[in-house]
Structure 1
């Protein structure tokens, strides 16, 4: 113990604690140098967001610990004395949730989508009155407003009925004791946020980067601290402002020491203590931070109009038949999209309308699939300006 105390005294807050490499989604991976001060300050800034769970409760962890998101969350769990169970593997998460019965776990939006897809698949197997109840509960959830003042007495009564017959089973499927799910790394569909919240499964969507240790903002557990479609309130000790070109910039004790052996890259993103995130955003009600796009992903079509792909992609992904989508069109006459279809959902649809689905289909050329996807896109296109509408699509062949 004396030796440990001696070593601890030698370590200063500004010393390097870890190097975590970025995912490289917008370039080559970079080694982000984080100090002890960076990490500890972010843990202390974020811990107030976890006031809903106590030291006698537990969590389930399955995201990689070599990413700063799960690493910092782990430190928060340790600080609060929350028990941590690790999933045996990605394929056993559903089983492990039932075994562990956590009150909280972290995830990414795609895994959350898969959770709902399983719930929806179970609902599709129902028939008669039970199927009608399931569909009614889903439609009720889609009308959910996080502000209790905007929910009528009748709506709240309906929520209780839906909870007794439908939503309770959703919670049981993920252990039965869940209070909140923390999600980040990408935008979560508002549709899912409404449905899970209506089922009393609070989804706390947040925002951060490896370079910010990572937490910048979080939607809180309390309803007054949440707003659908945003990434929540900025955590304490972190400053955020919107630059003249719309870029989100932030500063605080959580900002990285720099990129490992890349001083020139560090100087490009850290200026006068402010870290330039590369994300375009705004504040809603002067309180809730909202990302509108990635600065590097905005492009211009040949007519001179700028296109922000993110809101278009997020809206299109609300279709059950579209699993992934990438909006393109740099210097082209109009916007196009590369689409990965949801094969399972398309199979279900074809079965209902009497179209035979052949597993040997080339998805990119099948006329029925193209017609279905195009119909979905046309519905969503109406929500966008003429120059933002997806005019041409290409579907992944498998």
Structure 2
């Protein structure tokens, strides 16, 4: 079958797999499932309903919802008639909604639940809103689908035939770490080429193959991932929410899932915290296994004695880790930010293949990806550049990308587009190195800063290393224009409580503990121990502990959990100044 438009993936799946469960989501405690043929039927009905509602080629429709099958239904249905989806994060403000509705000229809106509807309706104007949940006074999406059942399917086939691979199929507004979001224009060809390029990095097991999806579909990482899973014949199960991921993993027992490093860090920290709760020989065995794992390198022959010990550790310790992830996980894809090398080592040692990749919304997104084999992984690298994509490193270290996956540009922003697209190359803004086919990311170009002594500092490398401490949850390096580097630190309060318990230090409130001289002394020890990995000009000379974590809702993190450095600088201006005045 010729795949030239994203919606061609539906007949492809029916022809090759005809899944009894293509999509599933828990409703009222029961997994509600849709087969490949259900997916096609509902999507076709919705496409016809859109046509009868006056949605035409090039019209924009917003989708604002948590992950659920209805998200896919609307997305595919719009594609089939040449309309353009505008996915949006449920977590952003009504002001952001208003900006995107106007900038993208959105004609119709789909919302997931009451909370999203309340925000969207405030700024929707006269735009029609449909909901996925049953909401009082709001038209339900099923009403629209029902209208399509009596439509002219010959008309739909004609509409589908007019959609070309080079046509725009979505505008994704990047979350951005500063300023207004930019609308990234992606075609069917952009995304489909990326699906085909990365498909060979994942091999479905024979028979039933399942994936648990919890990263937001409005982000290109999970969206292209979902198209890839459909192409490969995985059944996609949508997690109930972020709090129930652990429970859903045990229920679904997936073979693969996409994640961000932040979630893997939390999983690891919880495992280690439980290890500290053990006593006697069990505790000794746990930390013996952990130490083995932290030394593991999948690309290196570790020796017969090490292999024997690791086999034993897998049997008595790491098997429980795999059970906590459902017992069937063959690969975890990690992206959106840097993965700590120690996490890659220990999970691989535990038989959990964490494969780091790299990409951007503007590249649909995958530029490079790791493969779940020992000869296809290199710790500290973000994998090999994927098929049909070219990468080169500019003189200043910036990563440049060329290929069919590169966006058409930013919607209504020709000057911004011209600044990043030059002679067919996309300027990523990331700094990196190529070692043969393997790509390594060292920092964000815009995030590097210079001290008053003229030395450049790449904060991401330092932050990633310092977060290896069990006592550090979040950290941002500061010091632009100052005479030394310093850091704002959000402690891992769970780790801190465990430390206080071991040292018989009474734990009061979080705010009281970060002012405790013994705690400050311990953090200084942690900083001193980690500083040795960096040059003298990069080392953290002073720090400030904060008593509240940074979050998406409070504005310090993007929806993909990247630091909004400008926001943090503004919110904690006094704390930063106090570091340099002390």
Q: What corresponds to 2:244 in structure 1?
A: 92
Alpha-carbon distance change, 360 to 309 in structure 1, aligned in 2, over 3 angstroms: closer
Q: What corresponds to 2:187 in structure 1?
A: 35
Alignment equivalent of 1:5, drawn from 139, 157, 173: 157
Aligned-CA RMSD value: 1.2
Matches within 5 A, 1:156-171: 156-171=307-322
- Residue-by-residue CA offset, 1:227-253 (whole Å, 9 max, x unaligned): 001101000000000001100000100
Alignment equivalent of 1:393, drawn from 514, 523, 543: 543
- Residue-by-residue CA offset, 1:142-166 (whole Å, 9 max, x unaligned): 1101124x21011111111001100
Say which SS state the counterpart of residue 525 (structure 2) adopts: helix
Alignment equivalent of 2:478, drawn from 328, 338, 343: 328
Say which SS state the counterpart of residue 64 (structure 1) adopts: coil
Matches within 5 A, 1:121-270: 121-148=273-300, 150-270=301-421
Q: What corresponds to 1:308 in structure 2?
A: 458
Q: What corresponds to 2:427 in structure 1?
A: 276
Alpha-carbon distance change, 53 to 279 in structure 1, aligned in 2, over 3 angstroms: farther
Does 1:368 pair with 2:547? no
Alignment equivalent of 1:352, drawn from 502, 507, 511: 502
Report if aligned partners of 2:491, 2:547 keep a CA contact under 8 Å in 1: no
- Structure 1 distance, partners of 2:512, 2:432, is 39
Report if aligned partners of 1:212, 1:255 keep a CA contact under 8 Å in 2: yes
Report if aligned partners of 1:54, 1:80 keep a CA contact under 8 Å in 2: no
- Residue-by-residue CA offset, 1:99-139 (whole Å, 9 max, x unaligned): 00000011100111111122112212211111111000000
Say which SS state the counterpart of residue 383 (structure 1) adopts: coil
Report if aligned partners of 1:62, 1:89 keep a CA contact under 8 Å in 2: yes
Q: Which runs of 5+ in 1 are unaligned?
A: none
Report if aligned partners of 1:55, 1:83 keep a CA contact under 8 Å in 2: no
- Structure 2 distance, partners of 1:274, 1:221, is 29
Q: How many residues align?
A: 396
Q: CA deviation at 1:49?
A: 0.7
Report if aligned partners of 1:55, 1:82 keep a CA contact under 8 Å in 2: no
Does 1:114 pair with 2:232? no
Q: What corresponds to 2:149 in structure 1?
A: none
Q: Please report the TM-score for the alignment, with normalisation by the length of structure 2.
A: 0.67
- Residue-by-residue CA offset, 1:276-313 (whole Å, 9 max, x unaligned): 000000013x2210011110011110111111111111
Alignment equivalent of 1:379, drawn from 515, 529, 533: 529
- Structure 2 distance, partners of 1:162, 1:77, is 32
- Structure 1 distance, partners of 2:545, 2:475, is 9
Say which SS state the counterpart of residue 349 (structure 1) adopts: helix
Q: CA deviation at 1:323?
A: 0.5
Q: CA deviation at 1:52?
A: 4.8
- Structure 2 distance, partners of 1:213, 1:69, is 8
Q: Which runs of 5+ in 2 are unaligned?
A: 1-152, 549-582
Q: CA deviation at 1:258?
A: 0.7
Q: What corresponds to 1:319 in structure 2?
A: 469
- Higher RCO (CA 8 Å, separation ≥ 6 residues): 1
Report if aligned partners of 1:217, 1:235 keep a CA contact under 8 Å in 2: yes
The structure that has the greater radius of gyration is: 2
- Residue-by-residue CA offset, 1:167-225 (whole Å, 9 max, x unaligned): 10100011001111111001011111011000100001000000000000001111111
Report if aligned partners of 1:55, 1:80 keep a CA contact under 8 Å in 2: no
Q: Please report the TM-score for the alignment, with normalisation by the length of structure 1.
A: 0.97
Q: What corresponds to 1:82 in structure 2?
A: 234
- Residue-by-residue CA offset, 1:56-95 (whole Å, 9 max, x unaligned): 2101001110000000000001111110111111111000
Alpha-carbon distance change, 92 to 360 in structure 1, aligned in 2, over 3 angstroms: closer
Report if aligned partners of 1:54, 1:82 keep a CA contact under 8 Å in 2: no
Alpha-carbon distance change, 119 to 253 in structure 1, aligned in 2, over 3 angstroms: same
- Structure 2 distance, partners of 1:268, 1:41, is 24
